């Protein structure tokens, strides 16, 4: 089995910062792309940022210049540094890891349980 453990969510004032962390554990053979998604109240879940195994990153237009995604392969971890937070950033944030498990032929996505980020004005 594979488990994704998230941390770092909470309440913050507009203009503040939070750092989300997600660590994967279990029968992991190789981790490929790692990403963060978010789902604002009443809206669909959308990609926030992704980082490939080679270090290439992609960001949603709404967070470019404010959020930074990074990874630590030695820890099987992905991070999201969120600066200049605004009320529109309020959402449940989900860690997503595409990986190959030991004894698995194909990679698949694994999801964290989600952590709530609330930005007040």
Q: Residue 75 pLDDT more than 90?
A: yes
Model confidence band, residue 1 (pLDDT cutoffs 50, 70, 90)? confident
* pLDDT tens-digit map of 27-36: 999 999 999 9
Rg (CA), the chain: 14
Predicted pLDDT of residue 15: 98
Q: What is the C-alpha to C-alpha distance for residues 90 and 118, in angstroms, rounded to an integer? A: 5
The 8 Å CB, 24+ separation contacts for 45-51 are 45/94, 48/80, 48/93, 49/80, 51/78
Q: Residue 77 pLDDT more than 90?
A: yes
Please list the residues that pair with 6 across neighbouring strands: 22
């Amino acid at each position: 089995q594979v488990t994704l453990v998230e941390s770092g969510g909470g309440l913050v004032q507009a203009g503040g910062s939070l750092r989300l962390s997600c660590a994967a554990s279990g029968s992991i053979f190789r981790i490929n792309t790692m990403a963060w998604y978010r789902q604002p109240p009443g809206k669909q879940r959308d990609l926030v940022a992704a980082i490939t195994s080679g270090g290439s990153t992609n960001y949603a237009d709404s967070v470019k210049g404010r959020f930074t995604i990074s990874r630590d392969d030695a820890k099987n971890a992905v991070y999201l540094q969120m600066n200049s937070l605004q009320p529109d950033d309020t959402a449940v944030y989900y860690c997503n890891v595409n990986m190959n498990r030991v004894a698995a032929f194909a990679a698949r996505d694994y999801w964290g349980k989600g952590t709530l980020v609330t930005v007040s004005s």
